[in-house]
Amino acid sequence: MDHTAEALDTLQHVFGYPAFRPPQQEIINTLLNAEDALVIMPTGGGKSLCYQIPALLREGCAIVVSPLIALMQDQVEALQQLGVRAAFLNSSLTPEDARAIEQDWLDGRLDLLYVAPERLLQARMLRLLNQLTPALFAIDEAHCVSQWGHDFREDYLGLSELHQRFPEVPRIALTATADARTRQEIAERLKLTEARHFLVSFDRPNICYRIALKDNPRGQLLRFLRDEHREDAGIVYCLSRKRVDETARWLAEQGFNALPYHAGLPAETRAEHQRRFLREDAVVIVATIAFGMGIDKPDVRFVAHLDLPKTVEAYYQETGRAGRDGLTANAWLVYGLQDVITLRQMLDQSQGSEVFKREEQHRLNAMLGLCEVTTCRRQALLAYFDEHLENPCGNCDSCQNAVATWDGTEAAQMALSAVYRTGQRFGVNHLIDVLRGAENDKIIQNDHHRLPTFGVGKALDSRQWKSVFRQLVARGYLSVDMTRFGALCLQESARGVLRGEVEVQLRQDPKSSSAKRTTKSA
C-alpha cells in the first residue's frame, strides 16, 4: 500500500519540512506496510524521521532503542517542542518519574518512547510490551551490535529476541557505519533477514576536497578565504580552544566577520554566535568540534581545518556540513607532521584501554593515509566507507592538479636504516642530522658520526627529509612513540622496504605552498 500522502502531510505539518530526502519516503512506506528495514545513511542524512513519522501514523507507541542517554534526551526534547508526545526511560530517571512515564504509556498518551537497551529486556518492560503492542521497534546506532566495532554494547545482542517475541511488529535498524561486514552482522544478529536494505551513498559530489601541507597556516587560510570565499559563510575548525580564540580574533582583524565557538565560552555567547551564523550573511565560525551537531545551515560554502581531524569519520562529518544546498563548496585542510605528533600525544594521555588506543591509532593512520594519497581523494574517502567510485572524481585537488610523485625507495631505505641504527630512540630532527651528516654535540655524544648512515643523505635538504619521514609515518612504516618523546620506531612493514622488496612512491611536496596557487573555476 502507498502511504505517500499521509507521510508527506505529517512531514509538512508536524516537522515543517517541504519534501522528503531520498530514500526517507520509501523507508517510511516499508514500515507502514509492517515490513522491516535496515538503513545505512551518513550522519546528518535524516535517519530519525524514518521511524518518527511511522511512529505517528501507526497504531500504538513506537519503541526506540538508543544507547546514548544524552542524545535520547535531546531527541525527546526536540520532539516535544514540535508537539509530539515523546518520552524516555533510562537510568537518569528517578523510579517515580519512570512510573509516571509508564503510566502515560499505559494510558495511550505516548507516540514515541526512547528506551536504553539494557532496560528493554527486563521482565517489567516485557510485561508492558505484551500488554501494549508497540507501533514499531527502532534500533538506533545498530552497529553497536557488532562485536568487532568500536561501540560494541553487550545489551544490543539481546535485541534479537524482539523478533521472536513480537513477530508482527515491524523493526527498523539504523546506523551510519557502512562497511559490509558490520552490515551483515547487524542483519544476522538482529534477525533482520527479511528486512529491506536502504543504503545511502556517502558521496557528496558538490564538495571539493583539498588537502595541503601546513606551511604558514594562517597565511594559507587567509589566501584561501580572500581568493575564494570573501563573501561566504563557513566554518574553520581548530583543535584547541586557545587556537580558536586566536584565529577568530586574527580573522576579525583581517576584515572577516569571524566568531569563536567552543565549550569554554559562556552558553549565551555560544548561542548568540550560533544564531548570528545562521541568520547573518558571510559569518565565519571558528570552532572546536563542539560546533556543528544539529546545525542545519544549507549554504555553508566552506569548511576549513587548521588541524588534522582524528579520524576519517570525523573529517567526513565535519566537512559534510558544507554545501547541504547542493551548490559548490570546499572542504579545505592543512596538516603537517606536528599534527600527527600532537594527536598521538593526546591519544596517549587519554583514559582509554590499550585496545582502544590501538584502534584510535589505526583510525588516525587512515586519516593520514587520506592526506597522503597520490590518487583521487574522493575515491579514497568513499573506499574508507566501503563504497566504490568507478572513476576519479575530477572535483578534488588530486584530480585537478595531478600529484607529482617520485621514486622514494632509496630515500626510504636510508631513513629506515637511520632509525634502525640509532636504536629507534630518536625523533625526526636528530635522524635528519644523521642523514645529512651534521656534526653537532648530540651526534658526537651518541657516536652517531661513526654510523654507516652518517651523511649518506646529503642529496636531500632537511625539508625534503621531513617530507620523507612524514610519509613513512603516514604509510605505517614508522610509528611515533610518545612515551619516548616522539622517537620513531620501525613497524613490521618496514622490513620489506629495507630488504628492497617494496618500491616506495612518494608525494612530491610543492616547493613552498605559498608559491603555488590553486585557482579554481566554479
Contact (Cβ atoms closer than 8 angstroms) between residue 519 and residue 227? yes
Nearest-approach distance from CB 96 to Zn ion, in angstroms: 58
Q: Amino acid letter at 197? A: H
Query: Among 13, 21, 99, 362, which residue sits at the site for ligand ADP (rule: CB under 6 A)?
Result: 21
- For residue 120, give the H/E element and its range: helix 117-120
Which three-class secondary structure string do you get for 425-486?
CCCHHHHHHHHHCCCCHHHHHCCHHHCCCCCCCCCCCHHHHHHHHHHHHHCCCEEEEHHHCC
List, as one string, the DSSP characters of 272-308: HHHHHHHHSSSEEEEE-TTS-TT---TT--EEEESS-
- The pattern of x and - marking residues 126 through 145 that bind ligand ADP according to CB under 6 A reads --------------------
Q: Which does 324 bind (CB under 5 to 8 A by kind): Zn ion, ligand ADP, none?
A: none
User: Taking Cα atoms as reference points, which of 337, 418, 400 lies closest to residue 372?
Assistant: 337
Whether the CB-CB separation of 254 and 236 falls below 8 Å is answered with no
Number of residues that bind ligand ADP (CB under 6 A): 14
Q: Which of 17, 41, 56 is nearest to 140 (CA)?
A: 41
Contact 47, 41 (CB under 8 A): yes
Q: Rounded to 10 degrees, what is the CA torsion of 179, 184, 189, 191?
A: 130
Answer with the entry of ligand ADP, Zn ion, none that 376 interacts with (C-beta below 5 to 8 A by kind). Answer: Zn ion
C-beta of 46 vs 392, nearer to Zn ion: 392
Residue with Cβ nearer ligand ADP (22 or 352): 22
Helix axes of 409-421 and 462-474: crossing angle, nearest 10 degrees = 90
Which is nearest to 104 in space by CA: 89, 116, 120?
89
Site for ligand ADP contains 336 (CB under 6 A): no
* Residue 275 binds ligand ADP (CB under 6 A): no
Using rule CB under 6 A, residue 44 touches ligand ADP? yes
Which residue's CB is nearer to ligand ADP, number 143 or number 507? Answer: 143
> Binding Zn ion by CB under 5 A: which of 239, 334, 370, 376?
376
Q: Is 17 in the site for ligand ADP (CB under 6 A)?
A: yes
Q: What, of Zn ion, ligand ADP, none, does residue 270 touch, CB below 5 to 8 Å by kind?
A: none
**17 or 406: CB nearest ligand ADP:** 17
Any contact of residue 47 with ligand ADP (CB under 6 A)? yes
End-to-end CA distance of the chain: 44
* Residues 284 to 313 in contact with ligand ADP, rule: CB under 6 A: 294, 296
CB atoms within 10 A of CB 324: 18
Return the residue of 3, 301, 344, 378 that touches Zn ion, per CB under 5 A: 378
The phi and psi torsions of 258 (rounded to 5 degrees) equal: -105, 135
Among 49, 172, 303, 488, binds ligand ADP (CB under 6 A): 49
Considering only CA atoms, which of 485, 490, 505 is closest in space to residue 430?
Answer: 485
CA dist 37 and 286 (Å) reads 39
Among 48, 342, 409, 429, binds ligand ADP (CB under 6 A): 48
Please give the size of the binding site for Zn ion, defined by CB under 5 A.
6
The CB-of-71 to ligand ADP minimum distance in angstroms stands at 9
- Which of ligand ADP, Zn ion, none interacts with 396 (beta carbon under 5 to 8 A by kind)? Zn ion
Residue 227 touches which member of ligand ADP, Zn ion, none, C-beta under 5-8 Å by kind: none
Nearer to ligand ADP, 6 or 348 (CB): 6
Compute the distance between CA of residue 14 and CA of residue 316 in angstroms, rounded to an integer: 30
| Residue closer to ligand ADP, measured from CB, 46 or 510 | 46
**Binding positions for Zn ion, 399-438, rule CB under 5 A:** 399
Task: Residue 77: name its binding partner from ligand ADP, Zn ion, none (Cβ under 5 to 8 Å by kind).
Answer: none
Q: Where along the sequence are the contacts to Zn ion (CB under 5 A)?
A: 376, 378, 392-393, 396, 399
Q: Where along the sequence are the contacts to ligand ADP (CB under 6 A)?
A: 17, 20-21, 24, 41, 43-49, 294, 296
